Amino acid sequence: MGLFSRGGEQRLTEELVMRALSTVQEPELGGDLVSRRMIKNVKIDGERVSFMVDLTTPACPLKDQIQNECIKAVQTIAGVAPENISIEFGSTVRPRGGVMDKAAVPGVSHVIAVAAGKGGVGKSTVSTNLAVALAQEGARVGLLDADVYGPSVPLMMGVSGQQPTAVDGPDGQPMIIPIEAHGIKMMSVGFMVEDDKPIIWRGPMVSQLLRQFLYQVNWAPLDYLIIDMPPGTGDVALTLAQSLQNVGLTGVVTVTTPQSVATLDVMRSIEMFKKVNVDLLGIVENMAYFVAPDTGKRYDIFGTGGAERLAQREGLPLLGQIPLGMSVRSGGDSGQPAVISDAPDAYAETFRQLARTLAARVSVMEYA
Ligand SMILES: Nc1ncnc2c1ncn2[C@@H]1O[C@H](COP(=O)(O)OP(=O)(O)OP(=O)(O)O)[C@@H](O)[C@H]1O
Ligand SMILES: [Mg+2]
């Protein structure tokens, strides 16, 4: 039958394929794949059709759905069998728009801060696992540990004691080479200060340090730069939030535990970011519940539904719920983030799902 369809004399062409694919909607962003210029490299080889779908993030949660719908659409062209359709996925994470007046970090598409109203709720655990999960999905990721009070990224990523080196940048200024581990680039206050010499940080020092960490580190090219923020809503956190607003931050992810939702800390933190006009990306509920490994019984140790109610009240998405897990804790302590473990109570897939949901949220924010 060759190039001709069963019913008529229609030849299989790129144009026909594009026309078929223009019926496939981008499930989250709206519009069809062709108008969104997401279809690339359409090739026809005899009865075979191949093309690339250029997603807005490699961590797209709806990849399978898009693939199925593309196959269904192309199959409607008479004579094309599903096994002759090959789809490749690529991604172009477009930088945050509308920040022309701001000093965006060169070569970094999205800067995303992970914050919390108070300490110990799992900011660093979420930051590290989120960063590694995004890298596992194929994104280029950096992790900036800006927690001046208790930098834990070096420990949690297994790079304590390492010292970043510096080279001369293009303008003669020194550029710091970030430390790499688990597929991501890192910079931490912990690499710069000695444990036994405590520093009393004031707002202006912190904002200067942040500028250095953003502009004098060789980050580029990155799709996502995750910032582990210091806890709280005091002077240091407020100054950092303000500085981030000035560098075109994409937004903030707020981490909370179920019981701290009941306190005012998390509200205060959300209000602080709103006051300085930082976009809120959503809420992560950490230590959401516990499943006993021996019996499989679920315990809502810190209550239930708190983060969901908070999200509803604030009109924000609940991006994910991470249970309490021994392997989550031990992964952090041993420098092997939970998301690379296959222990059931490491909840690797939960962290990956969180990463995909966040990446999709960022795409939607940019293109809605
Ligand atoms: N889902 C979880 N399951 C088990 N342990 C967890 C979980 N999340 C965090 N932890 C543990 O709780 C402790 C506090 O977490 P983490 O250091 O990430 O919090 P933080 O908000 O960054 O704290 P700080 O304010 O001190 O920076 C760590 O020992 C960590 O391993
Ligand atoms: Mg921390």
Per-position DSSP letters for 30-68, written without gaps between them: -SBTTTTT-EEEEEEETTEEEEEEEES-TT-TTHHHHHH
Percent over 90 (pLDDT), the chain: 67
What is the distance in A from the centroid of ligand 2 to the CA of 36?
39
Residue 9 lies in a domain: no
Q: 229 and 83: one domain?
A: no
What span, in angstroms and rounded, lies between the C-alpha atoms of 123 and 186? 16
What phi, psi does 20 have (nearest 5°)?
-65, -40
The per-type count for the chain, helices as H runs and strands as E runs, is: 12, 14
Q: Which residue has the higher pLDDT, 260 or 361?
A: 361
CB neighbour list of residue 105: distance below 8 Å, 6 or more residues apart: 111, 214, 215, 219, 220, 225, 247, 248
CB within 6 Å of ligand 1 — which residues?
116, 119-125, 147, 150, 152, 231, 286-287, 322, 324-325, 328-329, 332
What span, in angstroms and rounded, lies between the C-alpha atoms of 73 and 200? 61
Ligand 1 atom index nearest CA of 119: 25
Q: 77 and 153: one domain?
A: no
Q: 248 and 323: one domain?
A: yes
What is the distance in A from the centroid of ligand 2 to the CA of 141?
19
Mean pLDDT comparison of 79-83, 112-116, 247-251, highest-scoring range = 112-116
> At residue 195, does pLDDT exceed 80?
no
Q: 76 and 147: one domain?
A: no
99-125 average pLDDT score: 85
- Which ligand gives the minimal distance to the CA of 122? 1
172-184 average pLDDT score: 94
What phi, psi does 9 have (nearest 5°)?
-105, 30
- Whether the CB-CB separation of 255 and 273 falls below 8 Å is answered with no
Q: 275 and 201: one domain?
A: yes
Ligand 1 atom index nearest CA of 331: 31
Residue labelled with tokens 């709206």: 30
* pLDDT tens digit sequence for 47-90: 999 999 999 999 999 999 999 999 999 999 988 999 999 999 99
Residue 99 lies in a domain: no
CA 365 to each of CA 45, 247, 251, 253: distance values in angstroms, whole numbers, following the listed order: 38, 17, 10, 14
Nearest residue CA, atom 2 of ligand 1? 324
Q: 349 and 214: one domain?
A: yes
What DSSP line would sit under 301-358, residue for residue?
Answer: TT-SSHHHHHHHHHT--EEEEEEE-HHHHHHHHHT--GGG---GGG-HHHHHHHHHHH
Residue 3 lies in a domain: no
Q: Which residue has the higher pLDDT, 7 or 221?
A: 221
What span, in angstroms and rounded, lies between the C-alpha atoms of 40 and 163? 43
The pLDDT-based confidence of 221 (bands split at 50, 70, 90) is very high
Q: 349 and 220: one domain?
A: yes
What is the distance in A from the centroid of ligand 1 to the CA of 121?
6
| CATH number, domain with residue 245 | 3.40.50.300
Determine the pLDDT at residue 360. Answer: 93
What is the distance in A from the centroid of ligand 2 to the CA of 113?
12
Determine the pLDDT at residue 22. Answer: 95
The pLDDT-based confidence of 6 (bands split at 50, 70, 90) is very low
> At residue 262, does pLDDT exceed 70?
no
What phi, psi does 175 have (nearest 5°)?
-115, 130
Other C-beta atoms lying within 10 Å of the C-beta of residue 181: 18
Find the domain containing 340 and state its range.
Answer: 108-367
Nearest residue CA, atom 9 of ligand 1? 122
Determine the pLDDT at residue 196. Answer: 65
User: Ligand 2 being an ion, which residues bring their Cβ within 5 A of it?
Assistant: 123-124, 147, 152
Residue 362 lies in a domain: yes
Q: 80 and 216: one domain?
A: no
What is the distance in A from the centroid of ligand 1 to the CA of 290?
15
Nearest residue CA, atom 30 of ligand 1? 329
- Whether the CB-CB separation of 245 and 215 falls below 8 Å is answered with no
Q: 83 and 112: one domain?
A: no
Determine the pLDDT at residue 192. Answer: 82
The pLDDT-based confidence of 97 (bands split at 50, 70, 90) is low
Testing ligand 1's pocket by substitution, the residue of 153, 329, 351 carrying the most ligand atoms inside 8 A of its CB is 329
> At residue 100, does pLDDT exceed 80?
no
Q: 24 and 137: one domain?
A: no
Testing ligand 1's pocket by substitution, the residue of 118, 125, 287 carrying the most ligand atoms inside 8 A of its CB is 125
SS3 of residue 157 by DSSP: coil
259-267 average pLDDT score: 77
> At residue 243, does pLDDT exceed 50?
yes
> At residue 1, does pLDDT exceed 60?
no
Residue type, 15: E
What is the distance in A from the centroid of ligand 1 to the CA of 90?
34
> At residue 358, does pLDDT exceed 80?
yes
What is the distance in A from the centroid of ligand 2 to the CA of 97?
30
Determine the pLDDT at residue 9. Answer: 47
Mean pLDDT comparison of 4-8, 38-42, 116-120, highest-scoring range = 38-42
Q: Among the residues of 188-298, which ranges form H helices?
A: 189-192, 203-215, 235-246, 258-261, 265-275
> At residue 172, does pLDDT exceed 60?
yes
Number of structural domains (the chain) is 2
Determine the pLDDT at residue 326. Answer: 97
> At residue 96, does pLDDT exceed 80?
no
CB neighbour list of residue 194: distance below 8 Å, 6 or more residues apart: none
299-308 average pLDDT score: 89
185-204 average pLDDT score: 81
Determine the pLDDT at residue 2. Answer: 43
Range in 57-71, 160-174, 335-349 the model is least confident about: 160-174
Q: 120 and 85: one domain?
A: no
Q: Is the bond preceding residue 317 a cis peptide, omega within 30 degrees? A: no
